[in-house]
Amino acid sequence: MSREIRYYQADCKEAVMSAMNRGRKRVLVTMPGGTGKTFTAANIIKDFGRKAWITHEEELVEQSAVSVLTELDILPDKDIIEVVEKHGGLVNLLNKQKFLLDDKSKIVYDNVGMVKADLCEINKPLVICSAQTLYKRLDKIPKDWFDVIVCDEGDLFGSRSFKEPLDFFTPRLIIGMTATAFRMDGQLMEDIFEEHVYDYPIEQAIKDGYLTEINAIVVRTTTSLDGVHSLGGDFNKKELVETVNTLERNNLIVNKYIEYCSGQQFICFGADVQHVIDLHESFKMKGILTAYVVSNKDKMEIGTDRKSIVRNYKKGEIIGLINYNIFSAGFDHPDCGCVILGCPTQSKRKFLQQLYRVTRLKSAKFVAKFGQIGTILDIVDGTSKHKLINTHELDKEKPIEDRVFISRKNKELLILAREERKFKTTYRKDDKKVDLFTIPEYKRVVVKTGNEQATEAQIAKLKSCGYDVENMTFSKQMCIDAIAKLPATEAQIWRLKKLNYDCSGVVTFGVASQVINDWKYKLEKQK
């Protein structure tokens, strides 16, 4: 392979081959999106004979064929794309007679076969197919035909149409590649694969510099999910849509995008087709050029199709893609700077698959304008009965240094704050020593009314600090956030100095308030 193999990809290959040499027939590999799962798998299988690459969706077959052929060094990516577009797709190419093809087309023709629709071309070194189509063609393929099988998104291969092909064939090795080694239905991965041989964690990939830093912004809404029931490992779709598809919530999403990610290309996930369309309208009302993509063609805008929309998005002609279950996996665009998780979920797999759309390293053009960072707008609704998957919940038990959804800059600020809180002073009451700066761990504060209109006092405060309060609408939470970033008052500084707090650097109103409140809290607990 022309591309240099990275250390973890080499380690993965060694782990897979070692497991096979120990007699394992089915192994699972976990690597986050953007770290080269396809390249790694291609590197592992290149020396095998007849290879099968199984996707989880029919629509990903041609895309996967192009990617795998590229990683196997059959042809450069640009040449393969040129060949595919010239013939109107791989299916058309493989249905033609070889002598009619040019040299580059012949190379592709000789190296890849497909099981798709009416095509069952298996007499090639590499066969690409979807699990569903392969399931319907088992009577046409010998059991021992393949030497190795790669299952893309291997965590999905538990259902009958996915698992039966694995049980039918007798290759030397079956490799499951996934970014999320768990299932929604509770089925254990050990029931599908014999051994989980390699795991490359996302936090390590970020530390290694192979994925971009992530900064997650938790956007809390006033929407309550308590009336929504669970069904099949996630929310009841009908009840969920009725709850979250409101003008107020949709406008909040748009306003938060403008506040934190304005100008950046983004992908937004909605709860269903109508929610996607309504979100699109909300963005359009703010003058933001978006397109929506859904599986129901009747709901697509006139004159649009998915391929052209994606092509225009990647060219930068569209700012945002709004979708329902379309771009959760198998879609890559490095300069997607923001992912908006507009649909609450109880599925860790679904959640991670969606946010992985923002993890790829950015282009030099993007970095020059926005920095090497991806932003997640994590829209979190209120609930007292459901366990929600969100970035805060996934990170809260980890040390600050190992948290995934905080940028390096914000980590440094948190670590600095933590170190400052280790500074101790004493207060003596009834000969009892009190450590004033042993401050409790960070606690999540749920603001139930954060989206209500700001108070007159808040507006007056912002106006005195130079904010344009005449042409902008502020919520209570926006005011709270803005005021927290203001310099500390003279009274706060005086109190901090009395507490022996180091005020030589810049101290914000929010930091000062927290320190003073924590000091008061400690005093109250000693009474």
Q: Which amino acid is at 235?
A: F
Can you give the pTM of this predicted structure?
0.72
CA distance 392 to 8: 28
What stretches of 46-197 show up as alpha helix (H) in DSSP? 61-71, 77-86, 90-94, 103-111, 131-136, 160-168
CA distance 124 to 129: 13
Q: What is the 3-state secondary structure (H, E, C) of 139-163?
A: HHCCCCCCCEEEEECHHHCCCHHHH
Question: Which range scores top for mean pLDDT: 268-272, 492-496, 512-516?
Answer: 268-272
CA distance 175 to 86: 33
Sole residue written with tokens 């009577």: 139
Domain ranges of the chain: 7-200, 207-406, 421-526
Tokens of 395: 């990170």
Instruction: Give residues with Cβ within 8 angstroms of 380, minimum separation 6.
Output: 218, 219, 220, 221, 344, 388, 390, 392
Q: One fold for both 7-200 and 207-406?
A: yes
With respect to CATH, is domain 7-200 assigned 3.90.25.10?
no
State phi, psi for 392 to the nearest 5 degrees.
-65, -45
Give me the CATH code for the 207-406 domain, please.
3.40.50.300
Q: What is the pLDDT of residues 354-387, one digit of tens each?
A: 888 999 999 999 999 999 999 999 999 998 878 8
Instruction: Give residues with Cβ within 8 angstroms of 101, minimum separation 6.
Output: 93, 109
Q: What is the pLDDT of residues 127-175, one digit of tens each?
A: 998 888 888 889 899 999 999 999 887 666 656 667 788 889 999 999 9
CB atoms within 10 A of CB 86: 14
Which of the four pLDDT bands, split at 50, 70 and 90, describes residue 21?
very high
Tokens of 28: 């699972």
Residue bearing the bigger pLDDT, 179 or 276: 276
Indicate the SS3 state at residue 138: helix
Q: What is the pLDDT of residues 60-113, one digit of tens each?
A: 787 788 888 888 888 777 888 888 888 888 888 888 888 888 898 998 889 988
Tokens of 432: 């009892």
Contact (CB, 8 A) for 416 and 256 = no
CB atoms within 10 A of CB 520: 11
Q: Among candidates 279, 365, 381, which has minimal Cα distance to 315?
A: 365
Which of the four pLDDT bands, split at 50, 70 and 90, describes residue 262?
very high
Instruction: Give residues with Cβ within 8 angstroms of 208, minimum separation 6.
Output: 8
State phi, psi for 339 to the nearest 5 degrees.
-115, 130
Q: What is the pLDDT of residues 384-441, one digit of tens each?
A: 878 888 888 888 888 888 888 888 888 888 887 777 665 544 444 444 443 444 434 4
CA angle 482, 487, 489 (to 5 degrees): 115
